[in-house]
Structure 1
Amino acid sequence: MSTEFIVPDMTCGHCVKTITSAVQAVAPAAQVTADLASHRVAIEGADAQRAREAIEDAGYEVQVA
């Protein structure tokens, strides 16, 4: 199951790495794909709520895509 979020504050590679690490901390097998241009993050293999909370805990605002 894939989940997609919009993360408006995601603006650079460091943001992508931080978000990826945060999601993989709660779901180690998760695959995270980020598109900086559209501020979208697609996550495969993680519970949507836990992934969202992990991104928010990393300091980013999360919107449902």
Structure 2
Amino acid sequence: MSTAVFTVSGMSCGHCEKSVSAELSSLPGVTEVSADAKAGTVTVASEQPLAEDAVRAAVDEAGYQLVGRA
């Protein structure tokens, strides 16, 4: 099991959290996602470490910007 925390810009509400969480949850191996708009972070638990490019693409698809690892 691997857990990583990423900083995401542009999230401001619960809808934002749900959008980012839904996209990240669709990545292979992801078991849990917790987004926090107030902190501007998202915590992703997965079976194996995730490639940052895959996380970036999922966050972009949700309409937000991945800043990097927190």
- Range into which the TM-score falls when normalised by the shorter chain: 0.7 to 0.9
CA contact (8 A) 1:3 1:48 kept: no
Runs of 5+ unmatched residues, structure 1: none
Alignment pair present for 1:61 and 2:61: no
Report how far residue 52 of structure 1 moved: 2.4
Larger radius of gyration, structure 1 or 2?
2
In 2, the alpha carbon distance for the partners of 1:11 and 1:28 equals 27
- Write the distance in 1 (CA, Å) between the matches of 2:16 and 2:63: 10
The percent identity for this pair of structures is: 29
Cα displacement string for residues 23-62 of structure 1 (whole angstroms, at most 9, x for unaligned residues) = 1122364311122221111111061422222111221111
Task: Give the 5 Å matches for 1:1-65.
Answer: 1-27=2-28, 29-45=30-46, 47-49=50-52, 50-64=54-68, 65=70
TM-score norm. by structure 1 comes to 0.80
TM-score (structure 2 length as normaliser):
0.76
Query: What is the DSSP-based 3-state SS (H/G/I as helix, E as strand, rest coil) of the residue aligned with 1:23?
Result: helix
Gap runs ≥5 in structure 2: none
For the aligned residues, what is the CA RMSD? 1.7
Higher strand share: 2
Q: Which has the higher helix share?
A: 1
